[in-house]
Chains A and B, each alone.
Chain A
């Protein structure tokens, strides 16, 4: 009898544990940013467990050419946390193929958060804003994440079997790592010489951008963008953080829109899955 009691107790404990683990994720109709003392920087941070999840349905970008004609990413699951000065989003979507190596015909996985510059009733167009209605975009890329994670800045880091006889800027008498050598290397990398943020090794896998309509995306003032993406079997889990939208007080709302690119599906630029505007509530005192 004692033996049976032990077994029953174990079964009850297992059931209780299972119930706790499968606790229903709180789903909300809007993105709710909960208050926390510290922003979670990692997608696996325990702080995310306390944030409700909004599953945003995605639609293909099909208004501006070139369009995405075949839907891919069905939804992006969004959670948000704010510490009162900054806001962090965690975006998760299904994509078993990790695409983080740039190359001809190779696109990178990516995602972005878009927020109107001003909190006002008359919203900018959800597709990149419009003239006079600026949107702020915080953009994360998988190949930048690989760079931040330690991938080197040579062609061999992308193509391990590559052999290169000679780069003119690595020849004598130029000393390795010298200013003269760096200066000459820039001559063969015009985008880097011009300071194009798309170009070169990264310290963060995200960038701050602004837009006033399709095709107008450009560098924006720094909103302190940070991010980290981790790929698992099912797909990506990416944290994007930035300054809290200006004027967004506790229990007030603005809007956010999200976009996802699957590199494996050759998505880049305007070929993307996107959401419309979704209310973003800053919860808290």
Chain B
């Protein structure tokens, strides 16, 4: 789960992933994790716009999607509606960075649809419930693990046909020209198997991320942080739900971006999610839960708020971390009267 409101696009997550997994030959261009500035950023280039155009103006009817998923839109001979980026589409990993920002009260040089807002969208593999990469592979080289839902490319079985690259609407599978196989985010499964959150989660400076396991909608548990945010509060939403993959990265939409744009990215629930997030100061449980993000490297399965403290626990209920909702404030006057000193800030 990613809280877009906290992301500052420092790319620490990108580098944490890069140095851990993709420092090999043929992986130079790969960013299993990237952070793009919306509305104009994208990696690879226009990965989202291209497919939205191919879907040709699909419509939501209130909370119901009247359009077709990429599986239902598959042309003859294909399993999914897809496309494959060209090499140059990977050449600009941070295109649109910080566009468009600032006030335009005195007039602007350019006239663009979104004049004075932007936000950062961190992206990894969504480990979808219905992965299009898996559906696209004619060899069955991609599998979704039953035990934790992580989607992996079998590096022994893959023959580098790049059908998964074509099929994934989020373009999170990458072809490695040196090994001749396709590679993707592995959700740091060696860590997750030990109950530790992935590298991009634990290295996040802005503490925007929280990893865990989501229950089925009918089995939501109120003390599961993810269930609470996704199923109960409905504050976190999937990216491009209309594609039909049920992506398992959930985003808390940016509250300063127009709701119309958020609806396009996160579906019809975006408006209510923004409202709920704005109301967090009056919603103690929600506010407490937001404080839990980035507070421990362990996977938190349960949470409990007591006053202004939230406790995160493992599956067995053993406490992992306690987080105060308000950090104590210490004021150090610029002039230390007792010692007759003027304090200065040292780096």
Contacts and interface: CB of A to CB of B under 8 A. Distances in A.
A198 B160 contact: yes
Contacts of A196: 155-158, 179-181
A105 B86 contact: yes
Contacts of A191: 155-156, 158, 176, 179-181
B129 interface: no
Given A64-B138, A155-B25, A104 B163 contact: no
A interface bracket (residues with beta carbon within 8 Å of B)? 35 or more
Interface stretch (A16-24, A46-54, A117-125, A160-168): A160-168
Contacts of B180: 102, 143, 191, 196, 198-199
A200 B77 CA distance: 32
Contacts of B77: 62, 65-69
Contacts of B140: 215
Contacts of A99: none
A155 B177 CA distance: 8
Interface stretch (A7-15, A34-42, A182-190, A247-255): A182-190
B185 to A, nearest CB: 13
Contacts of B25: 153-155, 167, 185, 188-189
A103 B89 CA distance: 12
Nearest to B135: A65
B79 interface: yes
Given A104-B86, A104-B162, A198-B158, A192 B179 contact: yes
A194 interface: yes
B178 A155 contact: yes
Interface in A174-208: 185, 187-196, 198-200
B28 A164 contact: yes
Contacts of B159: 198, 217, 269
B248 interface: no
A114 interface: no
A155 B28 contact: yes
A105 B179 contact: no
A105 B84 contact: yes
Contacts of B165: 104-105
Given A66-B136, A198-B159, A217-B159, A167 B23 contact: yes
Contacts of A68: 77
A199 B181 contact: yes
A162 B26 CA distance: 11
A102 B156 contact: no
Q: How large is the interface on B (under 10, 10 to 19, 20 to 34, 35 or more residues)?
A: 35 or more
B163 A269 contact: yes
Nearest to A188: B24
Output the residue of B21, B140, B179 with the most chain A CB within 10 A. B179
A104 B179 contact: no
Given A192-B179, A198-B158, A198-B159, A155 B85 contact: no
A270 interface: yes
A158 interface: yes
A191 B27 CA distance: 12
A62 B161 CA distance: 17
A268 B179 contact: no
B28 A69 contact: no
Contacts of B315: none
Contacts of B162: 104-105, 107, 268
Interface in B18-60: 19, 21-29
A154 B24 CA distance: 11
Contacts of B23: 166-168, 188
A154 B177 CA distance: 10
A199 B156 CA distance: 9
Interface string B256-272: 00000000000000000
A104 B87 contact: yes
Nearest to B140: A215
Contacts of B24: 167, 169, 185, 187-189
A107 B162 CA distance: 9
B161 A103 contact: no
With a 10 A CB-CB cut-off, give which of A167, A188, A191 has the most chain B CB atoms: A191
Given A101-B177, A167-B24, A191-B176, 15 more contacts: A104-B86, A104-B174, A105-B87, A154-B25, A155-B25, A155-B178, A188-B22, A189-B26, A189-B176, A190-B183, A214-B138, A215-B138, A268-B160, A268-B161, A269-B139
Interface of B: 19, 21-29, 76-79, 84-87, 90, 136, 138-140, 155-163, 165, 174-181, 183
8 contacts: A69-B77, A155-B25, A168-B19, A189-B176, A189-B178, A268-B160, A268-B162, A269-B138
